Every structure is written in structure tokens, then in C-alpha cells.
Amino acid sequence: MSAPHKAPAPPVGLTLHELNRMIPVKEGAEIIDIHEDTFRKHYAHLIVKIGPRLDRVRIGDVYAIGRPKD
């Protein structure tokens, strides 16, 4: 069994407004270095449906999940 990801600190200098910015799910999955399908499976509760084919996730939620890749 692998060790769980450590919760990263958000990048220095991000304001509350910037942490609430919505990004594509694929981009959020890339930040924590997992596949988009895995992100959708395990973190579906964080995904906000904006339109029929437009799903977004908040940057602050992504950084609360796991560590960003280096």
C-alpha cells in the first residue's frame, strides 16, 4: 500500500479569489499527477458542472487533495 499524498500548501501569493478560480478537471488532475478518470472517480464531489459538456474544479480544492508534481 502506498503512502497517502501530503496536503500541499497553496502557492505563495495566491489570494482567496485566485484559490476559488475554476479550472478544467484535466488540468486539476495534472496538478496532483493523477489521470483525469481517476480524479473524476475519487473526487466527483469537487467537480462543478458549468454546462452540458463543461466541468470545472476549484484550484483551492485541488491543492487540498494532494501534493502537486514537481
**Per-residue pLDDT tens over the stretch 2-21:** 555 554 555 667 788 888 99
Q: How many domains does the chain have?
A: 1
In a domain, 15, yes or no: no
pLDDT value at position 53? 92
* pTM as predicted: 0.74
Sequence-distant (6+) residues with CB within 8 A of 56 are 22, 23, 24, 25, 47, 48, 50
Could you read off the pLDDT of 16-53 as tens digits, one per residue?
888 899 999 999 999 998 999 999 999 999 999 999 99
Residue 2 domain flag: no
Range of the domain at 43: 23-65
